[in-house]
Amino acid sequence: MEKNTENIEKIMSKSYNLFEIINDKKDSDSWGDRALDIARDIHEIKKENSLAIRGIKEITRSELKDEGMKLKEIVNILFEAMKREIKESKKDIRLFFSTECNFYTSKHYYLMSMFRNLIMNSIDAIPESKQGGHISIDHSMDREKHVFEISDNGEGLDEDGLNHVFSPGFSTKINYDTGEVNRGLGLSIVKKIVEEEFGGEVSVSSVYGEGTVFRIVIPKAYIEGDKL
Ligand SMILES: Nc1ncnc2c1ncn2[C@@H]1O[C@H](COP(=O)(O)OP(=O)(O)O)[C@@H](O)[C@H]1O
Ligand SMILES: [Mg+2]
C-alpha cells in the first residue's frame, strides 16, 4: 500500500509536468508518449488502489470488515488511527468523539473516508504553535436523519476559502517546490460521498482565526442497515 501511494504521487507529478509543458506549448512531440506513460502507470496501480483512493490507507485492511460494521466500531478504529496521526504531527490536539446511538451500516468504507478526510483537514488547520488544539466529531439523530458535526479550533477559513472549499483543486497546501501537487481533492470527495452515496448534504461554517465546523446531514434510510 505504501508503495502504491508513492506510485500515485509519482503519477501526479508526471501529470503535472505534462500539464506544464502543454501549457508552455513545449516539446509537443513528446505529449502523446507522456500521456500514454501516465495511462500505463495508472493501469498498474488500479488493482490495489481502492483503499488509497478512499483515503484510508493507514487503517489496516484487517481492521475493516467486508460487509458492514457498527458505527461505534467504525468510530473506535478511526479514533485510534487519528490519534496516531496527531501524535506524528507533534501538535497539541485533543480528539473527541460522541455518538448518540449505535447502528449497523454497510457503507462503513464511505463513512471512514469521509471522517478521515475531514479530521486530517482539521489536524492540518491547527498550527503547531497552538496550545489546546481541539477536534470533535459529534453525532446526533432524530426520526429521519443522522447529523455529524466535525469541528476544530484551527485557523478557520477566510471568505475565499468558504466560497471554494468544496471545489476540486482548491487547496492552500499545494507545494510546487516539492512536487506535492495532488491536493485539493479531499473535500470534493467528501461532498460526492455525502450526496451520491448517502443522499445527504454537507455544509461548512467558519470564523477566520477561530475554527471551523463541517455539518453533514444524512437521511436514515441511506445509512442504516444493509441496503436502501
Ligand atoms: N477544517 C478546516 N479548517 C480550515 N481550512 C480548511 C479546513 N478543511 C479544509 N480547509 C481548506 O480547504 C482546502 C481544501 O481541502 P481539501 O479538499 O481537503 O484539500 P487539501 O487538504 O488537499 O488542501 C484546504 O487546503 C484548506 O485551505
Ligand atoms: Mg484534505
- pLDDT tens readout for residues 36-83: 888 777 766 665 555 555 556 556 555 677 788 999 999 999 999 899
Contact 101, 133 (CB under 8 A): no
**Which of 31-35, 36-40, 186-190 is the least confident region?**
36-40
Candidate of 165, 174, 185 to mutate for ligand 1, largest count of ligand atoms within 8 Å of Cβ: 165
Contact 18, 24 (CB under 8 A): no
Amino acid at the residue 70 = K
CA of 172 to the centre of ligand 1 (A): 7
Instruction: Measure Cα distances from 209 to 35, 215, 224 in Å.
Output: 42, 19, 36
φ, ψ of residue 175 in degrees (nearest 5): -120, 100
**Residues framing ligand 1 (Cβ under 6 A):** 117, 121-122, 125, 152, 154-157, 161, 165, 170-173, 183-187, 212
φ, ψ of residue 16 in degrees (nearest 5): -65, -40
CA of 165 to the centre of ligand 1 (A): 6
Q: What is the pLDDT of residue 176?
A: 67
Q: What's the CATH fold of domain 62-223?
A: Heat Shock Protein 90 (3.30.565)
CA of 208 to the centre of ligand 2 (A): 18
Q: CA nearest 204: which of 130, 121, 84, 95?
A: 121
Name the average pLDDT for the chain. Answer: 87
**C-alpha span between 155 and 153 (Å, rounded):** 7
What's the length of the chain?
Answer: 228
**Which of 91-95, 146-150, 156-160, 186-190 is the least confident region?**
186-190
Residue nearest to atom 27 of ligand 1 (CA): 172
State the average pLDDT over residues 140-167.
96
φ, ψ of residue 225 in degrees (nearest 5): 80, -160
φ, ψ of residue 133 in degrees (nearest 5): -60, 150
For 85-186, strand residue ranges (E) read 93-98, 104-105, 133-141, 145-152
User: Could you tell me the three cell numbers for 178?
Assistant: 516539492
Give the residue with greater pLDDT, 183 vs 154.
Answer: 154
Considering every ligand atom, which ligand is closest to the CA of 125?
Answer: 1
Quote the radius of gyration of the chain (alpha carbons, Å). 19
- pLDDT tens across 111-147, in order? 998 999 999 999 999 999 999 999 999 999 999 999 9
Q: What is the pLDDT of residue 6?
A: 74
Residue nearest to atom 4 of ligand 1 (CA): 156
Residue with cell 500521456: 35
Domain positions in the chain are: 1-53, 62-223
Reported as a pLDDT band with limits 50, 70 and 90, residue 228 is very low
Kindly report the CA angle at 50 between 179 and 176, in degrees rounded to 5? 10
**C-alpha span between 27 and 184 (Å, rounded):** 28
